[in-house]
Homo-oligomer: A and B are copies of this chain.
Amino acid sequence: MTGRGWNTVRDLRRGSRSTVLRRLYFDGPLSRQELGALTGLSAGSVSNVTGELLADGLIEECGSVGSDGGRPRTMLRVAAGRARLVGVDVGETQVRVGLFDLTRTELAASDRPLTDRGRDAGHVAELILAGLADVLERTGTAPGAVLGVGVGVPGIVDQGAPGTDGLGVVVHGQTVGWDAVPLGRLLRAGTALPLFVDNGAKTLGQAEMWFGAGRGARHAVVALFGSGVGACVIADGARYRGASSSAGEWGHTKVHVGGRRCRCGARGCLEAYVGAEALVERWGAAPPGDEKAGLAALLAAAEAGEPAAVGLLDEAAEYLGAGIADLVNLFNPERIVIGGWAGLLLGPRLLPGIRAAATGYALRFPYEHALIVLGTLGPEAVTMGAATLPLSDFLDSGGRTPDRSHLSDASA
C-alpha cells in the first residue's frame, strides 16, 4: 500500500488532461470557454492543456460559432481517427470481434461460430486472435494504432495482480465449464496489444451507461436479463467491482428461501424464476434447443392470450419487480436500466408489471428517487461495451499513447 498514488504535480496534469478529454468525449464539441466552466479549470490552464492535446493530435478544432458580437468560439472535439479500439464478445454461440474508431463507429467486425469445442478456452482464444488479426488486416490498421483489446466473457473475471497488463486475468465461468481459465496468458501468447477482460454482462452494462439509457446517471444499476440474470452496478460514476471483481451477481439473490432449485446449485434464486432458460423450461411448450426462439414463442403465446403464458410472464414481472426493489433498497440508484437480450424482447410487455411490483416492494423514499427504464442498445452492444474498457483506460490516463514501439514488428 503506497498511499493514493496522487502525489506529484505531474499527476495533477494527468488529471487535468483526463478531465478535459473526458468532457470533450462525452459532451461533444465544446469551446475552450465552456470547457473551463465545466471542468473548473482556469482559462489559462484550459488553453495550456488543450494546446498539449492538440499537439498530440488527440483533439482537433472543428469550426467556430459566433458569440454576440465578440470573437467567435473555436470548437474542439476528440479526433476520432487518432486511435482505434477492439471489442470482443465471447457469447454462447459465437465469438464476435469489432474494430471501432474513438467515436465508436464500427469499422469492421468478424463473427466466428463456436464449434462444439466451445467449452475449450484454448479454442476460444484462437478464435479471438484470428478475429483480431482479421479485422486489423481488413482495415489496414497498424497494431500501434490500437489502444487495446477489451474482451467480454461469461463468468466471473479475476483481474489478478494489477499492473501486469492483463496477464494475470483468470476466468471462472461455471455455466460454460471454465474453471480458473488463464485467459490473459492464452491471449498474451498471440498479441502484444494491451488486454482488458471483464464479464460480458458488465461490458454491456458499461455500454448502456456510456451511450444508452444510463447516460448521465451517477448511481445506476443495469439489470441484465438474458438466459441468466445479472447486474452491473455503477456507483458514483464508476463500475462497482467489489473485493474480487464479482459484485453485481443479482441473479442469485434469494426470492424464495428454500424454493426452486437454480443451476448454481442453491434454492430460490431470482434466476430460477425469471431467467430465460427457466421461463422456457417452465413453460414447456417451446421447441427445445433454441432458447431465444423459445422465449419469443412464449411471448407470442402470451400476446395471444394463452393463460399459461400470460401467467408465467405476469409472475416473472412480479419477481423482477421484487428483485429490482431489492436493488433499489440496497443500492439506492437514481436509475435502473433493464437490458440484455431477454430484457430487450420482453421489456415492453413486462415493464408495467415490473414497475407495479417494485412500487409495492421497495421502500418509498429510495423508490421515489429511482427511475426504471428499458435499455436502448441491442445485444451487439456487448462488443462496444468491451471496447469501452481500453477507452476508459485511455481517458483516465489523459490520452497517454503508451509507448508500444515494440509492437511495430510484432504481429497482432
- Where the two chains meet, the residues of A that have a C-beta atom closer than 8 Å to any C-beta of B are 1-9, 11-12, 15-16, 19, 37-41, 45, 156, 172, 174, 218-219, 231, 233, 235, 240-250, 252-257, 264, 266-268, 318-319, 322-323, 325-326, 329-334, 360-366, 369-370
With A255-B257, A257-B322 known as contacts, the answer to whether A247 contacts B7 (CB < 8 A) is: no
Q: Given A2-B39, A231-B330, output 15 extra A-B contacts at Cβ < 8 Å.
A: A3-B38, A3-B40, A4-B40, A6-B12, A6-B15, A7-B16, A7-B41, A7-B45, A156-B366, A244-B334, A247-B332, A253-B326, A254-B325, A255-B255, A256-B257
Q: Is the CB of A366 within 8 A of B249?
A: yes
Q: Is the CB of B1 within 8 A of A38?
A: yes
Contact of A3 among B4, B11, B41 (CB under 8 A): B41
Q: In the complex, what's the smallest C-beta–C-beta distance from A209 to chain B, in angstroms? A: 14
Contact of A330 among B249, B255, B325 (CB under 8 A): B249
Q: Is the CB of A366 within 8 A of B254?
A: no
Q: In the complex, what's the smallest C-beta–C-beta distance from A324 to chain B, in angstroms? A: 10
Distance between Cα atoms of A326 and B244 in the complex (Å): 16
Q: Is the CB of A254 within 8 A of B255?
A: yes
With A250-B330, A253-B326, A361-B254 known as contacts, the answer to whether A40 contacts B243 (CB < 8 A) is: no
Distance between Cα atoms of A34 and B248 in the complex (Å): 38
How many chain copies?
A: 2
Q: Is the CB of B257 within 8 A of A366?
A: no
Contacts of A331 on B, CB cut-off 8 Å? 240, 242, 247, 330
Q: Is the CB of B363 within 8 A of A249?
A: yes
Distance between Cα atoms of A326 and B247 in the complex (Å): 11
Q: Is the CB of A219 within 8 A of B246?
A: no
Distance between Cα atoms of A255 and B333 in the complex (Å): 21
Contact of A334 among B3, B243, B369 (CB under 8 A): B243
Q: In the complex, what's the smallest C-beta–C-beta distance from A374 to chain B, in angstroms? A: 20
Contacts of A326 on B, CB cut-off 8 Å? 253-254, 326
Q: Is the CB of A266 within 8 A of B369?
A: no
Contacts of A332 on B, CB cut-off 8 Å? 241-249
Q: Is the CB of A243 within 8 A of B38?
A: no
Distance between Cα atoms of A2 and B233 in the complex (Å): 24
